[in-house]
């Protein structure tokens, strides 16, 4: 025991000597991109299937995920289409809750053009490395004005160059109209085998602003204060990324989820609205990332 104690004390002395030798460490935050796209299921929209948006032979769910990964690697946008479309990504290691601003979503918003998407997080509770546990919405500034449990079903058009009809769970019909600049034959995702495509989630308030100056109409899409993807926010848009807090995660009844860490992120197109020239409001994502603390 005495011999062991002497070795331990000598080791401690050596450690103290090293600490006093002028060596120092620094901790900094670095951005780490999500490692995997697990699912990319957009709603119909003007950019879906479009060659100019990078679609070439995207005919299966696996190819859709590969398409999204390639677009992110090139810092290019992936469109989520109309309301409800989404993508799911995962990180190589858990992302700890660390006081706020841990998550980053890059969109393509700019002044007078915000297409906010709702962000959800998931912890890998069962440890199988798959996003099959519970999703928690990140509460944003419009949480109390949003419709929770909203649902919509899109129907594949019967022929080419036709709008995509939809009906929501409030009984309201509508359509994803065709836009002159986007001439691909179908706006319905080519890799979806079924003739109906349904989504459930959170519908944010409409953000379209109509203006008329000397008889000329124009439309813009206003930003929300904070807490959403692809949102030109004055509060959380930093370097092209909307910065989001794990601590804003809430349960289905709106109570704090108190997650110590997360593994997966889902971004879902949040607004069901359209306007002339603009078309449908479709969240675009150019990448999902997190901050890591690295000690050197």
Q: What is the mean pLDDT of residues 52-63?
A: 96
Q: Which two tokens stand for residue 25?
A: 């460490």
Residue 14 has pLDDT above 50, yes or no: no
Stated pTM of the model: 0.90
CB 236 within 8 A of CB 109: no
Residues 174-187 have a mean pLDDT of 97
Res 135 pLDDT > 90: yes
Q: State the pLDDT at residue 215.
A: 81
Q: Rounded CA gap, 46 and 51, in Å?
A: 11
**Helices of type H across the chain:** 2-19, 61-73
Residue 15 has pLDDT above 60, yes or no: no
Residue 243: how many CB atoms within 10 A of its CB? Answer: 20
Instruction: Specify whether the CB–CB gap between 288 and 120 falls below 8 A.
Output: no
Rg of the chain over all Cα atoms, to the nearest angstrom = 23
The mean per-residue pLDDT over the stretch 22-36 comes to 88
Q: How many Å apart are CA 181 and CA 178, to the nearest integer?
A: 9
Does residue 1 surpass a pLDDT of 70?
no
Residue with tokens 């299937």: 49
Indicate if the pLDDT at residue 114 is higher than 90: yes
Is 183 in contact with 168 (CB distance < 8 Å)? no
Every domain of the chain and the residues it spans:
27-146+203-295
pLDDT > 70? residue 66: yes
Among 31-35, 217-221, 287-291, where is mean pLDDT lowest?
217-221
pLDDT at residue 5 above 90? no
Instruction: Give the whole-number percent of the chain exceeding pLDDT 90.
Output: 85
In the prediction, which pLDDT does 13 show? 35
pLDDT at 268 over 90: yes
Confidence label for 31 from pLDDT (cuts 50, 70 and 90): very high
* Residue that has been written with the tokens 């080419």 in this structure: 160
Q: What is the mean pLDDT of residues 27-50?
A: 96
| Buried-exposed string 133-147: b where 16+ CB fall within 10 A, e elsewhere | eebbbbbbbbbeebe
Pick the closest to residue 204 from 138, 159, 291 (CA basis). 138
CA 21 remoteness from chain centre: 47
């Amino acid at each position: 025991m005495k011999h062991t104690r002497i070795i331990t004390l000598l080791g401690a002395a050596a450690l103290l000597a090293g600490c006093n030798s002028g060596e120092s460490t620094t901790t900094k935050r670095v951005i780490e991109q999500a490692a995997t796209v697990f699912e990319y299921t957009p709603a119909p929209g003007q950019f879906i299937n479009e060659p100019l948006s990078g679609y070439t032979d995207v005919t299966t769910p696996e190819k859709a995920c590969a398409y999204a990964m390639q677009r992110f690697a090139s810092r290019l946008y992936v469109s989520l289409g109309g309301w409800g479309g989404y993508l799911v990504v995962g990180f190589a290691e858990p992302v700890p809750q660390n006081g706020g601003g841990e998550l980053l979503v890059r969109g393509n918003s700019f002044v007078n053009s915000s297409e906010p998407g709702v962000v959800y997080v998931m912890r890998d509770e069962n440890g199988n490395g798959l996003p099959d546990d519970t999703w928690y919405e990140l509460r944003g500034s419009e949480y109390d004005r949003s419709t929770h449990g909203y649902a919509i079903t899109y129907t594949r058009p019967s022929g080419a160059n036709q709008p995509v009809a939809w009906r929501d769970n409030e009984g309201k019909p509508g359509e994803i109209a065709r836009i002159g600049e986007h001439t691909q034959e179908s706006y319905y995702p080519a890799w979806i085998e079924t003739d109906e495509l349904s989504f459930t989630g959170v519908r944010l308030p409409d953000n379209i602003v109509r203006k008329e100056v000397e008889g000329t109409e124009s439309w813009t899409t206003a930003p929300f204060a904070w807490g959403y993807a692809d949102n030109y926010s004055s509060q959380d848009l930093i370097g092209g990324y909307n910065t989001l807090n794990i601590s804003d995660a809430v349960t289905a009844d709106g109570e704090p989820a108190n997650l110590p860490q997360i593994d997966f992120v889902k971004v879902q197109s949040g607004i069901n609205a359209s306007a002339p020239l603009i078309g449908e409001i479709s969240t675009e994502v150019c990448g999902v990332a997190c901050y890591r603390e690295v000690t050197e």
